[in-house]
Structure 1
Amino acid sequence: MSDKSQDLSYKAGEAKGQAQVKKDEMVDKASSAAESCKESCQEAGQQVKQAAQGAADAAKDTLGMKR
């Protein structure tokens, strides 16, 4: 193999390695963003659930249905 061919082969391998690292970084960022979104959605769901329970309790109090 000529020096030029070896150099091109080396550079191609280096580029492939850099692309793999970049891909891994992007996958990690996407995974972190998805986890953060999941946590935010769970918190929002809890807040909605609590608000609905509060509204139901208030309605029961108003109608005299509270135990």
Structure 2
Amino acid sequence: MSNNMSAGEAYGKAEAKAENAVGAVKDTANQAADKAADAADMNEGQAQLRKEEATGILQQTGEQVASIAQGAYEGVKNTLGVGENQKN
């Protein structure tokens, strides 16, 4: 039974880390949006450039967080023996 509790704990911890990562991305998005709003005070060309840069950074960050979260999820599944490679 303690193995099930350990498995549940591992899954819960991985899920919490993934949620924290998503929260960090949302915080980064809000900060980027604030910077974009500040950039609106600049001339139009500079503001557009800053907006595009912020968008690119957010997209890269989101992709990295998604990849990290997916890796953590797959690791937990494999640890618990429920991954695709464990079905045999």
* TM-score, structure 2 normalization: 0.48
- Shift of residue 26 of structure 1? 0.7
What is the RMSD of the two structures over their aligned residues, measured on CA atoms?
1.2
How do 1:6-45 and structure 2 match up within 5 A?
22-45=1-24
Equivalent of residue 54 in structure 1, options 33, 50, 53? 33
* Aligned residue number for residue 76 of structure 2: none
Structure 1: how far apart are the matches of 2:7 and 2:17? 15
5+ residue gaps, structure 1: 1-21
Which structure's CA Rg is the greater one?
1
Greater than 4 Å deviation, 4+ residue runs? none
Structure 1: how far apart are the matches of 2:41 and 2:8? 49
* TM-score, structure 1 normalization: 0.62
Structure 2: how far apart are the matches of 1:33 and 1:45? 18
Task: Report the count of equivalent residues.
Answer: 46
